[in-house]
Structure 1
Amino acid sequence: MILSNRLFERQAPSREAKSVYIFCEGARREYQYFNYFREIDSRIKVEVNKLKSDENNSPKGLYELAENSFIGEKPKFTIQENDEIWIVLDTDPDKANSRAEQIKQVKEDCQSKGNWFVVESNPCFEVWLFFHQNEKFEAFDADDFCKGWKQKVGEQGGFDSRKHPIFIEEAIRNAERNYRTNENNRPLKGSSEVYLLAKSIFAVIKNKIRAAKNKL
C-alpha cells in the first residue's frame, strides 16, 4: 500500500481558510506528525513549534512561547478572526509535581482568550499515534510508561509520520471512544486529548483526506 503526500493536490489558500497554530513539546515525532498536514494543504496553516534543547519545555514555558509569537513589536504571526491556537502538552509528572499546577494555569489562561486551546497527550504522544491503527485500548503497564508505548507503537508495524497521518479520521474515532479521565477530569494513562485538536484539523481538510484515501 502506497501512502504518501503525493496522493494530495496542493491548493491555493481560500479567503475563508482559518489557520491552526500548534505549539508542542516534542522535538521530533510531534513535529513530523503535524508537519504532514502543513505540507499537504496550503489552505490551512499549521504551525508547529520545534523546541530546542535550551528552550523552556515546561507547560508555562510553552504557553509563554506561544503567546510571544503573537504579541510585541514584531510578532512572528498575525491572528485572524477564525484562527485557532493549540498547545499540546505531554503530562509526565516531574519530581516536584510542578507540572500539574502549571497545566491548570495554562488551561485557565487559554480559556480566557477564547480561541486558545490545550490538549494533553497523556503521558506521551505515542498514545495518540496508537489509535490510528487500533480500535480498542489495550491495558498496558510498565515502569517506564512512555518508553513502553514507544516500543508498542513500533512493534505493531511502526508508525510512519510520512504516511500514517492519513488515518486521522480513524484515530479521532478510536481515541474518543477509548477516552477516560480521573476525578480531576485529567486523561488517564492510555488516553489522549489530541483527538480534539485532530477534529479541528480534519474539519478543514476532510474532503482532501477522504479523496486521497479513495486512491489507495
Structure 2
Amino acid sequence: MIHKKRGYKRETQKDLLRDYKLFAIACEGGKREPQYFRLFEFLSTRIKVDIIEEKVQDEELLQKFETKSAPKWVLDRAVKYIEQEGLIDEDELWFVMDVDRWTSKQLREMIDYCSDKPNWNIVLSNPCFEVWLFLHRKENFNNSKSIQCKEFKDEISNFDSEGYNPLNFITLIKDAVIHAKTLDSDPNNEIPLLKETKVYKLIESILKFVSKKQFTEFVNEKHPQLIRESLKKGNKNKIIKSKRNISQK
C-alpha cells in the first residue's frame, strides 16, 4: 500500500503567480517521451513543460529502490520534484506510463493515489507509449501486426527513413487525439486494452492553452524552422563523426 505524505504542494504568494500553465510530466521512457513532450512549449508561450526525470537527479532515490518500476519510486521522485520546484494550484502533474512494465495491482495503486490529489493525473498506454505515436500516422491498427513493445518501437522507427524524430509527429497531434479517442473502448476506465492509449487526455489538456491561430503559426512557421535546425544539427554530428573516423585511421 502507498502511504500518503503531506507537503506535496507548496504555498505560492499571489505576486509570484505565473502567466503560463505548467505541465510537470513524469515519463518512464528515457528518450522518446521527453523528446516528444519538450516540443509542446513551442506551441504557445502559455505552456511550460517540465520533464521530472530531467529535473530530479537524486542519488539517494536511486539507491533506495531496487527497481524503477514501482509506485513508490515514481511517487517519491514526483514528491522530490515538487519540493525542489514548487507547484501552484493551476499546475498539472501527469504520469505517462506503460502497461507492460506494471502489475495490475501496481497500476491500480497509482490510479487510486492520483485520483485523491488535485491536478494529479495518470495516462497509460497498452502496451507502451509507441501506441500513441503510431496513431499520429495511422488511423487504426488494422494493418499492424505489432503486439509487443519492441515490435511497436521498430514499426515507429520505420515510418521515416531517418528513424524516429518527434518533429515528424508533433504537427499531427490533433489527428492522434481523434484516432485514440475513437479506439478507446472504455473512456471511463483508466487502464486501456491492448493497442489503446489514454495519452490523448493529456494532449487535450495541453491544447486548451493553444489557440487555433497559435497552432497554425506553429505548423507553418515554427515547425519548418525546427526541422531546419534539426537537419543542421544532424549534419554537424555526421561531420564530427566522419572526422573522428578519419583521425583514427
Is TM-score (shorter-chain normalized) higher than 0.5? yes
Q: Indicate the residue corresponding to 1:69 in structure 2.
A: 81
Deviations 1:32-70 (A, max 9, x none): 101111355442121113378x57422402122112221
Residue 37 of structure 2 corresponds to residue 34 of structure 1: yes
**Per the alignment, in what secondary structure is the counterpart of residue 97 of structure 2?**
strand
Change in 2 beyond 3 A, CA 1:42/1:163: farther
Residue 88 of structure 2 corresponds to residue 83 of structure 1: no
Residue 24 of structure 2 corresponds to residue 21 of structure 1: yes
CA distance in 2, matches of 1:164, 1:140: 18
Question: Which amino acid in the other structure matches residue 85 of structure 1?
Answer: L
Question: Which amino acid in the other structure matches residue 212 of structure 1?
Answer: F
Residue 128 of structure 2 corresponds to residue 124 of structure 1: yes
Query: Percent of pairs identical after alignment?
Result: 31
CA distance in 2, matches of 1:200, 1:66: 20
Does the CA-based 8 Å contact 1:31-1:49 persist in structure 2?
no
Q: Indicate the residue corresponding to 1:11 in structure 2.
A: none
**Per the alignment, in what secondary structure is the counterpart of residue 132 of structure 1?**
helix
State the shift of 1:81 in Å.
Answer: 1.7
CA distance in 2, matches of 1:179, 1:59: 26
Residue 172 of structure 2 corresponds to residue 167 of structure 1: yes
Match of 1:58 among 55, 69, 73: 69
Question: Which amino acid in the other structure matches residue 58 of structure 1?
Answer: S
State the shift of 1:164 in Å.
Answer: 2.1
Does the CA-based 8 Å contact 2:124-2:190 persist in structure 1?
no
State the shift of 1:198 in Å.
Answer: 0.8
CA distance in 1, matches of 2:23, 2:40: 11
User: What is the 5 A alignment of 1:1-216?
Assistant: 15-38=18-41, 41-50=44-53, 54=62, 56-60=67-71, 61-70=73-82, 75-93=83-101, 99-138=103-142, 140-141=144-145, 145-157=148-160, 158-181=163-186, 186-207=191-212, 208-214=214-220
State the shift of 1:125 in Å.
Answer: 1.1
Deviations 1:158-181 (A, max 9, x none): 542134212211111111111235
Aligned-residue CA RMSD (Å): 2.9
Does the CA-based 8 Å contact 1:32-1:161 persist in structure 2?
yes
Change in 2 beyond 3 A, CA 1:89/1:129: same
CA distance in 1, matches of 2:127, 2:38: 21
CA distance in 2, matches of 1:66, 1:110: 11
Change in 2 beyond 3 A, CA 1:136/1:206: farther
CA distance in 2, matches of 1:15, 1:93: 36
Deviations 1:124-175 (A, max 9, x none): 1111001111122326445x61111112222333542134212211111111
CA distance in 1, matches of 2:36, 2:104: 26
> Which structure 1 segments of 5+ residues have no match?
1-13
Normalized per residue, the structure richer in helix is 2
**Per the alignment, in what secondary structure is the counterpart of residue 112 of structure 2?**
helix
Does the CA-based 8 Å contact 1:137-1:178 persist in structure 2?
no
Q: Indicate the residue corresponding to 2:6 in structure 1.
A: none
Does the CA-based 8 Å contact 2:34-2:51 persist in structure 1?
yes
Task: Name the larger-Rg structure.
Answer: 2
